[in-house]
Chain A
Amino acid sequence: MDFSLSEERKMLQETIARFFESHYDKIDKHHFNANLPDGFDNKIWQESADLGIISALISPDFGGLGGTGEDISLVFELIGKSLCVEPFLSTGVLSSTALSSIKKPKTKILSEIIDGSFLVSFAHSEMNSRYEECHVETKAVSSPKGWIIDGNKSFVLNGDTSKKVIVSARISGEINDKNGIGIFLIDKDNIKTRSYNTIDGYRAAELEFKNSSGELIAKDEEALKCIIKTNAAGALALSAEALGIMQICFDTTLEYLKTRKQFGKSVGSFQAIQHRLVDMMLEIEQVKSSVMLASATFEADEKTREKHVSAAKNLVGRAGKIIAEETIQMHGGIAMTWEYSIAHYAKRLIMIDHLMGDADHHRDRFRMLSSI
């Protein structure tokens, strides 16, 4: 057994860490970039492409240099530490996974994603679909002019700046049927878009499709498999991101409690506080292990992959709440302020549980996948 990273990955890790540290050295950068018209800084995105960070998220089969579970986790743990807002999740993981997990992968678009010139968003969630994989109300009908899509998609990450959008739509069946879902590629021009920032500062949009024409890229079983794989990649990326955030939360809290003095002593010297720091540490070790397992088995059979991803995301949801709340509580008033960075890490950590399935959702999935 060997749980350490290969030399090659270690080097990649250092390069990427340095990149994010230079662009996100202060929490103000997070706010500034989140409030740019695009919701992120295009220059940083382009530079990250040149440095090979996007390519690290995509398999060599499609022109990338990575794309395994371990690669995704390595990059996203560092993303978590930086709170960077560039579209690594939306385009880099979700869309690139969707476009490569179909029978005829979209290699040309994937190469444009890798070089940083093309943004695609993945639009599966709907206002009332919660985290369900098969819940699709948006409709697709075939016409002499091709497929026509009607309906609404919600919480589409970076849905305002992408040039194309990958949309799940129902060709047949009831709202929750496993069969009858199609995946379409739709040009973003002429799609009514309402964009906003999420409470943790990431860009998302509501999209309204009216008589929109789209290209069918997968349907039925193939489509469902693609959605499941895409969600798994997203959940893994977010779990690793959460792990990075948790480490920042722990380190910052410990550092603060060493220096913060009340009653003539450092607050960290009180045993009641020390025990809680140990509890935080325990949670983080658990999360770290589950993220490692999910990363290492991401290329295994579907059932193993799904089980381990759900285990990680469930643990992240549960531990994330504890770590975020304890980080704020143990800091005291200062963590309630906008100015202090830790509040924003805590917010992101909590909101990660609202993306790609919360702890309850993944617990239910795990239960189903692990039943004999």
Chain B
Amino acid sequence: MNFEYSEKEKLFRIEIKDWLENTLPKSISDKVRKHQRLSKQDYQTFMTILNDKGWLATHWPTEYGGTGWNAIEKHIFEEEIIIASAPRIVPFGTIMLGPVLIEFGSEEQKKYYLPRILNGEDWWAQGYSEPGAGSDLASLKTRAVNMGDHYIVNGQKTWTTLGQHANKIFCLVKTDINSKPQSGISFLLIDMDTPGIEVKPIITLDGEHEVNEVWFTDVKVPIKNLVGKENEGWTYAKYLLTFERTGIAGVPYSKTALNHLKVISQKTFKNGKPLIEDPVFSSEIAELEIDLLAMEIFNLRTVSAASKGKAPGMESSLLKIKGTLVRQRTTELLRKAIGPQALPYLPEQFDEGWNDTSIGPDYAGTIAKQYFNMRKISIYGGSNEIQKNIVAKASFGL
């Protein structure tokens, strides 16, 4: 057994670290560190810088402008961008749609869409979930009727992350209502500027606008925007979901939060002593760290197997469950650590350019908000309950 990264992998990490340090604008990493709102431009700036370097499409083969990295290289890269407090790479075009087009798209679609994802001309949104179709995605109702040279689409998608910035959306639509749920579904590429599309914000419990409803009324979509074959969209959708779950354990996020927690527990006092010296609280931190340590190895075992060509199966479900729980636990301990300082909430603090004084330590104002926002990670991307169903069904033979 050898737990070490190879020399080549270590150099690769250093290259990325150095590059990020020199290239990522401080104005952006500051915002990420302070959990301030990122503008569309912030995301795009970072993705443009990455694309100029050739590092934007980590899940694509080189012939389409991707990096062609193996699983370990992707993993190192994903860690480093989080450590550097870079914005996340908006996944909808790069990580989700790109691989689907490469695998199932027509030559024309690949030639047209892939470069536009890379150069930032298109911002994609993921139109899967509907009000009535969440965990049971296959029960979706949005209808597309084939009119010969175009489809007419009617229905509603929801929870569309960052859809307010998008000019394109890929949707699962029902093209055959008489067949079984999974079989009558098609995968359509839709221009958000088409008449009949309306985007309405959904404000989340922490007061933020990150998700939307997207309504379709008699929307005309050219037939050439169908990916693959009609009524076979479910296969492509499932293929896409395997990409959605990469990096799902969020180990580097939890590591960053754990460090933050330790620093805060040194600065915060309980009964005249730093909180980190409180036997109960420091034990809770220790147990969190132990969980994280083990999970990191679990994650690396999976990554290493994947780099040797073994597609992760139920491992990604298990990693998703544990990863989200550990990450949520970091936000809970942060909240507990600062005690009553978690109460004040200044919404304007998250605006760009805010430079008033905070109430209490500067790190306090975002902590409760983060805790509430992170409740989402065990719900989306296939809820933790659904992951458990998948594991039980796939591996127990019951």
Contact = CB atoms under 8 A, between A and B. Distances in A.
* Interface SS, B side: mixed
B266 to A, nearest CB: 14
Interface string A183-210: 0000000000010111100001010000
A279 to B, nearest CB: 14
Contact of B336 (A176, A263, A329, A358): A358
B112 to A, nearest CB: 33
Given A263-B135, A338-B204, A155 B280 contact: no
B332 interface: yes
Nearest to B373: A336
A350 interface: yes
Contacts of B336: 358, 360
B335 to A, nearest CB: 8
Interface of B: 129, 132-136, 139, 158-159, 202-207, 211, 268-272, 280-281, 332, 335-336, 339-346, 359-360, 368-369, 371-372, 375-376, 378-380, 383-385, 388
A131 B205 contact: no
Interface residues of A, number: 44
Given A332-B135, A339-B203, A347-B205, A321 B344 contact: no
5 contacts: A128-B269, A130-B339, A199-B369, A337-B205, A358-B336
Contacts, number: 119
Nearest to B129: A333
A360 B205 CA distance: 26
Nearest to B347: A197
Contact of A354 (B270, B340, B346, B380): B340
Given A196-B346, A263-B135, A127 B368 contact: no
Given A132-B271, A338-B203, A198 B344 contact: yes
A237 interface: no
Most buried by A among B135, B211, B375: B375
Contacts of A347: 205, 372
A252 interface: no
A333 B159 contact: yes
Nearest to A262: B136
Contacts of A13: none
Interface string A135-163: 00000000000000000001100000000
Contacts of A333: 129, 134, 158-159, 376, 379-380
Contacts of B375: 325, 328-329, 335-336
B139 A262 contact: yes
A206 B359 contact: yes
Contact of B205 (A198, A204, A263, A336): A336
B388 A272 contact: yes
B344 A336 contact: no
A313 interface: no
A199 B376 contact: no
